[in-house]
Amino acid sequence: MARFILVRMARTALTLFGVVLLTFCLGRLTGDPIAMMLPQTATMEDYERIRASLGLNEPLPTQFIIYVANALRGDLGRSIVFNRPALDLVAERIPLTLQLGLPVLIVSTAVGIPLGVMTARQRNRPFDQLVMSLTLAGQSLPAFFIGILLILVFGVYLRWLPTFGSDTPAHLVLPTLTLLIYPLAIVVRLTRSSMLEALTTGYVRTAQAKGLSEHVVIYRHALRNALIPVVTVVGLQVATVISGSAIVETVFAWPGIGLLAVQSIGGRDYPVIQTIVLISAAAFCVVNMLVDLLYFVIDPRIQSPASR
């Protein structure tokens, strides 16, 4: 187990280095941020002075070495647009993103798994067909369409809920509901398909032949073995919650990481973009490692290559 964790940590470090390198290079291909900061009447001296103050006058390899050296010390640069440390700027947006995303994660898991089990037990019945139709629509409709539709219905016509901002708990309702529909549909459909596959296996038929109750067969034998792909998807949703949802936050003007990313891309704010991508990549790597460790708990028969 210790060797498995060390190997995964080494792979995570290599992945993060690749993400930093790729983000650094692609960010510089989007254009010169100085052109968006200064007016058209600015002189070349103004451009060179600002570029030198931001360290953008150095060759790209030198800029990258300086960035990596500073990042290892916890300095991810200073925002070009906001003139603040990029890490501080992103860190203050994380609680708002979690405030929006954690309820989505909890509800999609707590509701999606039982609902998937229920539909599997009632396969091809009216309840199963209704839930599958709704989840198919939830997977197919884009988030921006659902968000705009909810704004028109509950914000414009009915005037029940606010449509933008984060001032009161009521502001959470519409963006949370918009963000919930897709992951809930994914969890329900994946749980259903995994349960249907598990219910046809030999160990489930053996448990049924022993006269065990349906509840024991479903939840102790079939569901535990069907959870592995579901845990993988839920783990990816955890990382998505941490990294933020740019589309939903932009539609509802929710001041989280996603909205900050959109604003930073529009302003060519290299340090903030690199910080957001680095934190998002780190979140995905850490959650994937935790999900792999959780596999051993769900199914002890699974072994890592290092333990074989």
As a whole number of angstroms, the distance between CA 119 and CA 233 comes to 19
Please give the backbone phi and psi of residue 142, each rounded to the nearest 5 degrees, phi first: -70, 155
From first to last of its 308 residues, what are the pLDDT tens digits of the chain?
677 778 778 888 888 888 888 888 887 777 667 766 666 677 777 777 777 777 777 788 888 888 888 888 888 888 888 888 888 899 888 888 888 888 888 898 899 989 988 898 888 889 889 999 999 988 888 888 888 999 999 988 888 888 887 778 888 889 999 888 888 999 999 988 888 888 777 777 777 777 777 777 777 777 777 787 888 888 777 766 766 678 888 888 888 888 888 888 877 888 888 898 888 888 888 888 887 777 777 666 665 544 44
Is 133 part of any domain? yes
As a whole number of angstroms, the distance between CA 88 and CA 275 comes to 10
As a whole number of angstroms, the distance between CA 203 and CA 225 comes to 11
Q: Could you tell me if 134 and 146 are in contact, meaning their C-beta atoms sit under 8 angstroms apart?
A: no
CA 258 remoteness from chain centre:
10
Is 214 part of any domain? yes
pTM equals 0.78
Is 22 part of any domain? no
As a whole number of angstroms, the distance between CA 307 and CA 16 comes to 26
Q: Could you tell me if 34 and 56 are in contact, meaning their C-beta atoms sit under 8 angstroms apart?
A: yes
Residue located via tokens 């989007």: 30
As a whole number of angstroms, the distance between CA 160 and CA 140 comes to 27
What total of structural domains would you count in the chain? 1
Is 247 part of any domain? yes
In sequence order, which residues have a C-beta less than 8 Å from that of residue 115 and are 6 or more positions away?
Answer: 131, 188, 191
Is 121 part of any domain? yes
- CATH number of domain containing 150: 1.10.3720.10
Q: Which residues of 203-214 are buried (b: 16+ CB within 10 A; e: fewer)?
A: ebeebeeeeeee
Token readout for 133 is 């139709």
As a whole number of angstroms, the distance between CA 84 and CA 157 comes to 40
Supply the range of the domain harboring residue 165: 94-255
Q: Could you tell me if 131 and 189 are in contact, meaning their C-beta atoms sit under 8 angstroms apart?
A: no
